[in-house]
Structure 1
Amino acid sequence: MVSCPAWLVAAPASGHGKTTIVAALARLHTRLGRRVRVFKCGPDFLDPQIHALVSGAPCENIDLALCGEDDARWRLARAAEQADLILVEGVMGLYDSQPSGAELATRLGLPILLVIDASAMAGSFGAVVWGMKHYRAGAPIALALANHVATPFHAELCQQSLPEDVAWAGSLPRDGAAALPERHLGLNPAAEITDLVTRLDRLADALAQTPAAKLPPAVDFAARPAPTFPPLLAGKTIAVARDAAFCFIYPANLECLAALGARIEFFSPLADTLLPVCDAVWLPGGYPELHADVIAANGAMRSALQAHVAAGKPLVAECGGMMACCETLYDLDGRAHSMFALMPGVTRMQKRLAGLGLIAAALPEGRLTGHTFHYSTLECPLAPFLQAEKLAAPGGEAIYRVGRLTASYAHFYFPSNPAAVARLFG
């Protein structure tokens, strides 16, 4: 058994400030010399980039549906062996998704710091806290923080409204200079926010004056060894796209490939003209629509990828990676951009969300879980190879195969079935 102070930071809904509070807490405690490990509940690539930069350590995802309870438990226990503080950012609202953040906190024994945007309420702050605490079987909410308050008196009204079984975590004023910029898929990638640390220092300074700055109670985590895998990818080199256009990568996926024995070589489809010498390629998701002109102009990379596929070598393309594999991408202005043309089809960006949810795909190689989240649509003459099904809602996502190319809007969580991943890339 190993113990470490830990919070799960949650909210009634998205948009209340979970990410900024978690990042500011991580910044505050790292400035004090503490080792902080941050986790993100649910499928997310953008918030973890911010948390990783601030904490100085990879931000891993834990989720009962996407990753599984065993996966979450051993990752938390591994972090607790070396960390002085563990922070887990919840997903959406505390009771959203199935299983919810509330269930994860209850099962894993994580106390909850509840963050509420109090900008449009005062006495109702306590009513929301009471409802979140006592809804259904209740959740282990210990503290509540009032975010975006207007004045000290506004904060005082919120504090006075709290139920007796939830402590006051303090308040933060609305501060436009500290807000994090965002676009259609969420917050901007951390690398694009040039003054990120400055913004978070402002929030950390404000948090330092609140009860939320104190270390939370220690949580006991049962020590568990990391799972071991046979070296099914030993001797294989996998070229992984990683740049501003292809940046949606779970740290656990890279760790899984390495544990299977693969050698990982990163490359940039934007800047490079050649692929690394490799046995397989992974094109993860990201923002090809924001870099479509550069992709269209990189004819050498297009030829290299086409030669890779023509040689019968595996290529896995996820969401933005699949968009880049198609023939043409139409941006929001209706302009057409040539892509890598590894499969027939056209993708079109739109302002309306086109796909969202956890999925599972019964591939011939094995079942993999993952998620989908995209604003583009695909027009493809190919019949889908199979359909990935949503876990908690109707619908799903088509998966396409062209030779050893496997492409879909799905983002897969590789540790959900490492043997399947080995067969997919091997």
Structure 2
Amino acid sequence: MVSRARVLMVSAVASGQGKTTVTAALARKLRQSGRTVRVFKTGPDFIDPRILQAASGHAVYSLDLWMTGEPACRQQLAHAAQEADFILIEGVMGLYDGNPSSADLARFFDVPVLAVLDASAMAQTVGAVAMGLRDFGPVRLAGVIANRVASEGHAAMAKEAMRDIPLAGYLIRQKLSLPERHLGLVLPDEVEHLDALLDQMADALALDLAVMDAMPETEFADVTTEQIAPLLQGKTIAVARDDAFAFLYPANLDCLQQLGAQLIYFSPLANDAVPASADAVYLPGGYPELHAAALAQNTAWLTSVRAAVAAGKPVWAECGGMMALTEALQDQDGVTHSMAALLPGKAVMQEKLAALGPHFLSTTCGELRGHSFHYSRLETHLEGVLHTTRHRDQKTGEAVYQQGSLRASYFHAYFPSCPRAAAALFLGEAL
């Protein structure tokens, strides 16, 4: 079966150009015009996809030629094209940054690029930047959205300077923006009146629908992927999910369910106990440092997670999930809070980025891929039983710690990259 849709890689020259703001506004604007929209995010990310989900009304999955893999990327795009008029893929960093880059993904699937250019400090030079983005790769540059322009006249100058490159739209410089913090955008649940803000951003986007509708369609042939064996059939996994433990790939949850697991959710931040019916526990990353005082006082949560480990239930804790299981967490204000004390040592927040980039864990089941991104360090005498490898330079990456049935790491695993290894995490099997 062949499906078609207008697919656009929304990219820029660098981070900070307003890609997420523009992608969210564009998704909402197209929805308001009656077009069906699906959105994807390039590379590993947890926060932008939740904003884009709010804007588009559909779950946002990751596309990455290395982490997700080409067959899974193709399958997801083909499935989305069966029901969408437009598919938007928000890029990561600058168009040509990374290996693989957003440009690599666009060229691999023959997807045209829609460039977001911050025009606040230039006029005609917008044209030079747009042509440079197009020709360096090259890529198929379908158009430009000029962000932070001063006026309609400013937008007109940019449009004229781009010659044969269409100006698909522009956003006047304004106070409307998505709030940020040290790991990126603020979580959607923390943004007051988010839906109204997204509507206002869409209203502010001057979009040329004729240019959008004239963009070429991309064809995708449906792909049949290998069936996942139900290795977790009959198992119930308790998944922490709240603003302290929010960094969850939708594809990870899908993978666990395809493995046969039943998922039940609980909130440590609301002082929920780990459900007694759970056979295993998944503590994803998030912002425990912002909620450390509450977590330290939530006795039902603390008692239950200690009991789960004491009972030998497999626990997999990633990044923020690991931090919540240490003896103490020192927040960004230098205040130290007691944590679950299941791992020796102290997690310390720092101003400097500690790690960023794709990693993989070599296991007996295969290569489990993912990434690392954190501003804290773990001060511990505990030695890692395994270590990830950094994809970029093949150097040793993050430690995987083990205490009884508990395994923890700064590594964020992408379960579909090796479902057998993901199952082993929750079966308590050796990796």
Q: SS state of the match for residue 269, structure 2?
A: coil
Describe the shift of the 1:23–1:174 C-alpha distance in structure 2 as closer, same or farther (beyond 3 A): same
Tell me the equivalent position of 1:310. Answer: 310
Q: SS state of the match for residue 2, structure 1?
A: strand
Q: SS state of the match for residue 202, structure 2?
A: helix
Farther off after superposition, 390-399 or 111-120: 390-399
Farther off after superposition, 401-410 or 36-45: 401-410
Alignment of 1:357-368 (within 5 A): 357-368=357-368
Q: TM-score w.r.t. structure 2 length?
A: 0.95
Check whether the contact 2:309–2:405 (CA below 8 A) recurs between aligned residues.
yes
Structure 2 CA distance for aligned equivalents of residues 131 and 219 of structure 1 = 24
Check whether the contact 1:130–1:163 (CA below 8 A) recurs between aligned residues.
no
Tell me the equivalent position of 2:245. Answer: 246
Structure 1 CA distance for aligned equivalents of residues 225 and 266 of structure 2 = 28
State the Cα deviation string for residues 227-268 of structure 1 (Å, max 9, x = none): 421111000000000011000000000000000100000001
Unmatched runs of 5 consecutive residues or more in structure 1: none
Check whether the contact 1:387–1:398 (CA below 8 A) recurs between aligned residues.
yes
Farther off after superposition, 247-256 or 52-61: 52-61
Structure 2 CA distance for aligned equivalents of residues 212 and 155 of structure 1 = 17
Tell me the equivalent position of 1:411. Answer: 412
Check whether the contact 1:170–1:212 (CA below 8 A) recurs between aligned residues.
no
State the Cα deviation string for residues 288-347 of structure 1 (Å, max 9, x = none): 001101110012211211111122211000010010011100011111101111111101
Structure 1 CA distance for aligned equivalents of residues 58 and 184 of structure 2 = 21
Cα displacement (A) at 1:212: 7.9
Structure 1 CA distance for aligned equivalents of residues 188 and 134 of structure 2 = 33
Tell me the equivalent position of 1:203. Answer: 201
Structure 2 CA distance for aligned equivalents of residues 283 and 363 of structure 1 = 21
Letter in 2 for 1:6: V
Tell me the equivalent position of 1:88. Answer: 89
Alignment of 1:123-162 (within 5 A): 123-135=124-136, 137-162=137-162
Q: SS state of the match for residue 67, structure 1?
A: helix
Farther off after superposition, 400-409 or 369-378: 400-409
Q: SS state of the match for residue 94, structure 2?
A: coil
Q: TM-score w.r.t. structure 1 length?
A: 0.96
Q: SS state of the match for residue 327, structure 1?
A: strand
Tell me the equivalent position of 1:8. Answer: 9
Structure 1 CA distance for aligned equivalents of residues 373 and 305 of structure 2 = 25
Structure 1 CA distance for aligned equivalents of residues 79 and 209 of structure 2 = 28
Check whether the contact 2:71–2:225 (CA below 8 A) recurs between aligned residues.
no
Letter in 2 for 1:206: A
Structure 2 CA distance for aligned equivalents of residues 385 and 269 of structure 1 = 27
Q: Percent identity over the alignment?
A: 50
Structure 2 CA distance for aligned equivalents of residues 34 and 163 of structure 1 = 28
Cα displacement (A) at 1:209: 4.2
Aligned residues: 423
State the Cα deviation string for residues 135-189 of structure 1 (Å, max 9, x = none): 1x4011110121101122222221222143x22223211111x211111111101
Letter in 2 for 1:171: Y
Unmatched runs of 5 consecutive residues or more in structure 2: none
Structure 1 CA distance for aligned equivalents of residues 36 and 131 of structure 2 = 33
Alignment of 1:348-387 (within 5 A): 348-387=348-387
Describe the shift of the 1:365–1:344 C-alpha distance in structure 2 as closer, same or farther (beyond 3 A): farther
Q: SS state of the match for residue 34, structure 1?
A: coil
State the Cα deviation string for residues 75-132 of structure 1 (Å, max 9, x = none): 1111111222211100110000101100100111211100110111112211111111
Tell me the equivalent position of 2:260. Answer: 261
Letter in 2 for 1:289: E
Q: SS state of the match for residue 98, structure 1?
A: coil
Structure 2 CA distance for aligned equivalents of residues 311 and 33 of structure 1 = 53
Cα displacement (A) at 1:365: 4.7
Letter in 2 for 1:185: L
Structure 1 CA distance for aligned equivalents of residues 374 and 44 of structure 2 = 13
Structure 2 CA distance for aligned equivalents of residues 87 and 295 of structure 1 = 37
What is the root-mean-square deviation of aligned Cα atoms in Å? Answer: 1.5
Structure 1 CA distance for aligned equivalents of residues 399 and 307 of structure 2 = 25
Letter in 2 for 1:27: R
Structure 2 CA distance for aligned equivalents of residues 344 and 124 of structure 1 = 55
Tell me the equivalent position of 2:185. Answer: 187
Letter in 1 for 2:419: P
Q: SS state of the match for residue 399, structure 2?
A: strand
Farther off after superposition, 282-291 or 205-214: 205-214
Structure 2 CA distance for aligned equivalents of residues 251 and 359 of structure 1 = 19
Alignment of 1:32-51 (within 5 A): 32-51=33-52
Alignment of 1:207-356 (within 5 A): 207-211=205-209, 214-215=212-213, 216-276=215-275, 277-356=277-356
Describe the shift of the 1:31–1:321 C-alpha distance in structure 2 as closer, same or farther (beyond 3 A): same
Describe the shift of the 1:404–1:367 C-alpha distance in structure 2 as closer, same or farther (beyond 3 A): farther
